[in-house]
Structures are given as C-alpha cells and as structure tokens.
Structure 1
C-alpha cells in the first residue's frame, strides 16, 4: 500500500510538528488505517505515552518488522512555506515513511516535510547476512 492509497482509505490522521528554538522545522502527518487503529488510544488520544505511536501499534499486534523511506527534495507548496516560515527559495525534504509488520503488511505511513536549510537526514542501517 502506498502513501496515496493509505491516505485515501478510511484512516486515522495524526499530525506532529517539530520545533527548534521556537521555529518550526518539520511536520509529520501520519496515517493509520481505521481497521488497525480501531478504537484504541491511537485513534482517540493526543499523548500516546511511553514508546509513542510505534509502541501502541505493537500493543495492537502490529510490530514494526521493516520500514521503507523514500526521500525527495522539492520546493514547498505555498501552504508548507507559510507553516514552516520558510524564506523564499528554500527547499524542503519530503520523507515518506512506511512501516511493515512481520507479515509484510503496511500498517502506517508518515509523510514528513523538513526544512532543508535547518534539517538533515542521518541514517545508520545495520545490514544482516
């Protein structure tokens, strides 16, 4: 299931904003299918407690086995530029994160939009034989 497919099906939408020194630097919009979130705290509570979203999803039977992230650089939409208080000409990084359970079912997609002038991506991935 792609970001567009998940975002267009019946879902729970969660929005998170990240700030540095009071300035918005990143937005994350998460989509969890209604049949996954159901009536759990994922669907009904702002503060998800220790372990956050992924711990609550694991509690529901959706442990993250694998994730995929697609990263693109692009110019922001006018709405994104305003919300992130971007100076003219500053691009954003868009990260589409998809979580898969042990049965290889996608159960969560988050679209991050990151100010490219104040943000960075730093990955460390363990490769197993």
Structure 2
C-alpha cells in the first residue's frame, strides 16, 4: 500500500502540475486545468489551489494571463522581459541606462540624511555610521514595469564641492554631476535574489512566494574609489538581465 502523502495540499497541487509541465502532459503555452477543476480533484478550496500556483509562478513554470487563465511555461523558455544592464554616456555628457526604459517617479524623491550601515559602508569604503545623502524612489514604466531605486552618496565625497551646501541629484543625473567634479566614472554591479520584505512586495505588487532581484551598483572613479551606491529591487518572476562582457 503506497505511503500517504503528508505534504500540504497546495504543495501536492504544485508537484502535480510541475511534473505535468516537465513531462509534457501540460505543454508550454497551453492552459492548465482551471482552479475549479483542481479544487475538485484535490478536495480543497480555490485559495489553496492559488497557493500552489503561486509556488510554480515563482519558479517560472506558469504564467497567469488576466481574463484567460493560467498557462504552462517551459523551463527553457525566455522571460517576457529582458533588460540590458549598463551605463551609456551621450555626446552631450548625459548618462542613460542601457535598457532605455523611461521611468516615471511615483513621488518626487527627496534627499534625506541616513547613516551608513555596516554592509553598505563596506561597499562604499567609509566608516559605519558615516552620513549619507539617500534618495528613495518607486519607479514605474510601460508595460506594467515597477522597480524600487535607492541612491546613496557619502557626505565625505562632496567635501569642498558645491554639494556641501546643496543636495546632489539622484542617479542617473548624479553621474553627470560627479563627472563635472572631475571624476572619470566606471561601475560595478552585485546581483542576488532574495525574498522581499512585506512593504517591498506591496510596492512591487508581487504575489506570495515571488522573489526580487537585488542589484547593488557602485559608482567608482579612476582610482577605484567608490563615490556612490545604488540599490535596485526588481520583480524576479518573469525577468532576465543581460550583461555585455
């Protein structure tokens, strides 16, 4: 007699659909059984079915299309959004992101003073607790893209410049301001996935179980001295990043 499956029902549903997608029972691009059918098959409520689907959506095996249902995705299929990473400088001296996305600020960012925590102080090579100018922005773009963007600039970088008396601009306008101060800029990015905090999931409109991609970008000068740090938080369920090496 086979052992009874003691896993939670939502995980049983996720495992059943995962096996079907991987073995071709549910071909890529085809609709999965409806929530109602799965609820009846497993003897559960529809919220339990949705919990199982959320687990598969986080791993990129299913895609929910408003008004049409949930569809299988091949584990080898490309995400819907590919974003090139990098910084370009135009002939007029302005800097732009390589992906060319035009972002809109949900609210006008305001520079506030914060103290550098240990992890960021290490990347910026400043003492923990050093004061930083910090900008926070929730940014949106078509079609339905959202990201959280935070900019940090150490006060010590701005000593003996006009920005001792006024706040520097946030990135990417910050790059031109630093170049105007005589710095030759280059950039290093650190990338890792992690689960979002509740307020981050709400701001990015993430379903349960979906991770974020956290990107830390350090702006450095010609002597490899860090001048600024940015933190990008992006939905990680249907996105890939492209880097030119």
**TM norm. shorter chain > 0.5:** yes
Matching of residues 1-129 of structure 1 within 5 Å:
4-5=120-121, 6=124, 8-21=129-142, 23=144, 25-37=146-158, 39-40=162-163, 43=167, 52-64=173-185, 66-125=186-245
More strand by share: 1
- Extract unaligned runs of 5+ from structure 2: 1-117
Q: Which has the higher contact order (CA 8 A, sep 6+)?
A: 1
Greater Rg by CA = 2
More helix by share: 2
Distance 1:23 1:9, change over 3 A: farther
TM-score (ref. length: structure 1): 0.76
Please report how far the alpha carbon of residue 9 of structure 1 lies from its aligned counterpart in structure 2 after TM superposition: 1.8
TM-score (ref. length: structure 2): 0.43
Bigger mean CA deviation after superposition, 36-45 or 22-31: 36-45
User: What is the aligned-residue RMSD (CA, Å)?
Assistant: 2.8
- Extract unaligned runs of 5+ from structure 1: none
Q: How many residues align?
A: 120
